[in-house]
């Protein structure tokens, strides 16, 4: 019988307790966002649980338990003398302000969806089948948008597009842009609002997402953007100045084919922009908090999505720059460079 190293065992158990708590809090964060608890605390706190329940039209006894759990995680603050809960500015930036670049609530929606869909993923592990985005719980779609939109709003116009050679100048004068795999259109709408002289077309193969994106465009009152159902290998149009793929190329079954189609759709001096989850090229260099989060999402969402489609290359969410470069070069591109990066994203410039 193997003798256990008690020190290592205690360290692992300590980690597991923390990880179990982190998993258990995910649905509570979704609850707090949907019921408006974070926003109410940010706007009106400090508050008793009675006041918070009254403000959000919920039941105090449930609110009291939720607040206790959130205070335990450090997501909100508790003052024992007054019996009131509150949120400091940093907590508000992460949980209460949907436009904050550090808003993280969307990730918890995606985690909730992963838990709901676990039986389906267990099935495909056994059969080798894939599972497309449209087969997932609906909260995955809203969670993905909630998670990525703050970063797009904070960085896309101010940092990422300026890091690409000559792209901003084209868009200011009036360019033609395709946003492939646009989902609900968060990235497309950010660009369309910033560059009213340019034309933006968002493409996605998921009908419901395109319907949602067109509603978002209508609500925003933007007349230089539209959304259409199309795959990454067959979206229409040519002479694009910019074709962008935001956090989606690794989900595609045939990313090489998507790159080849994009090469034909671009102007000879156009640019393909890849925004991909941050990753290093070697597994050992991705064994960190960001990498483990993306590997988890990739196991449950990204890899099954790719396998569900044609070639099923299954790059995964931690493909890394070298593998991505090989993909676009196989698609016919000759120039590739990392233009910028954040803790969560790589911004890659690809040119003919």
CA distance 186 to 216: 9
Same domain? For 135 and 74 the reply is no
Res. 146: pLDDT tops 90: no
Q: Is residue 104 in some structural domain?
A: no
Same domain? For 187 and 315 the reply is yes
CA distance 83 to 116: 35
We report the CATH number of the domain holding residue 83 as 1.10.10.10
- pLDDT at res. 329: 98
**Can you give the pTM of this predicted structure?**
0.90
Q: Is residue 107 in some structural domain?
A: no
Res. 144 pLDDT band, cuts 50 70 90: confident
What's the domain count of the chain?
Answer: 2
Same domain? For 327 and 194 the reply is yes
Q: How many CB atoms lie within 10 A of CB 241?
A: 21
pLDDT digits (tens, 9 = 90+) for 285-326: 999 999 999 999 999 999 999 999 988 899 999 999 999 999
Same domain? For 157 and 121 the reply is yes
Res. 78 pLDDT band, cuts 50 70 90: very high
Same domain? For 219 and 325 the reply is yes
- Structural domain for 119, as ranges: 112-351
Same domain? For 132 and 40 the reply is no
CA distance 151 to 101: 5
Question: CA 342 → CA 90, 154, 275, 300, 346, distances in Å?
Answer: 19, 11, 10, 23, 7
- pLDDT at res. 1: 65
Same domain? For 142 and 273 the reply is yes
Mean pLDDT across the chain: 94
Question: CA 166 → CA 225, 346, 349, distances in Å?
Answer: 21, 19, 11
CA distance 73 to 67: 10
């Amino acid at each position: 019988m193997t003798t256990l190293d008690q020190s290592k065992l205690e360290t692992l158990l300590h980690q597991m307790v923390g990880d179990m708590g982190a998993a258990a809090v995910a649905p509570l964060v979704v609850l707090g966002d949907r019921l408006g608890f974070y926003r109410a605390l940010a706007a009106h706190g400090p508050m008793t649980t009675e006041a918070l329940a009254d403000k959000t039209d919920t039941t105090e006894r449930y609110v009291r338990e939720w607040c206790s759990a959130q205070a335990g995680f450090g997501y909100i603050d508790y003052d024992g003398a007054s019996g009131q809960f509150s949120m400091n500015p940093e907590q508000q930036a992460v949980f209460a302000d949907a436009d904050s670049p550090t808003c993280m609530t969307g990730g918890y929606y995606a985690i909730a969806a992963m838990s709901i869909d676990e039986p389906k993923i267990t099935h495909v592990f056994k059969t080798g089948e894939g599972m497309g985005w449209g087969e997932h719980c609906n909260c995955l779609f809203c969670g993905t948008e909630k998670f990525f939109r703050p970063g797009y709003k904070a960085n896309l116009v101010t940092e990422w597009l300026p890091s690409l050679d000559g792209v901003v100048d084209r868009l200011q004068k009036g360019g033609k842009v395709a946003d492939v795999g646009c989902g609900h259109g968060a990235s497309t709408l950010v660009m369309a609002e910033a560059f009213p002289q340019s034309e933006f077309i968002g493409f996605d193969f998921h009908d419901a997402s395109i319907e949602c994106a067109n509603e978002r465009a209508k609500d925003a009152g933007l007349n230089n953007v539209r959304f259409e159902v199309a795959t990454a290998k067959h979206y229409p149009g040519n002479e694009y100045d910019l074709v962008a793929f935001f956090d989606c190329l690794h989900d595609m079954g045939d990313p090489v084919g998507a790159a080849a189609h994009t090469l034909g759709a671009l102007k000879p001096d156009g640019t393909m922009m890849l925004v991909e989850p941050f990753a290093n090229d070697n597994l050992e260099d991705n064994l960190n908090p960001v990498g483990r989060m993306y590997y988890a999402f990739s196991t449950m969402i990204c890899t099954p999505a790719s396998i569900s489609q044609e070639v099923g290359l299954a790059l995964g969410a931690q493909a890394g720059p070298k593998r991505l470069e090989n993909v676009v070069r196989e698609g016919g591109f000759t120039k590739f460079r990392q233009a910028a990066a954040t803790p969560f994203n790589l911004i890659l410039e690809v040119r003919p």
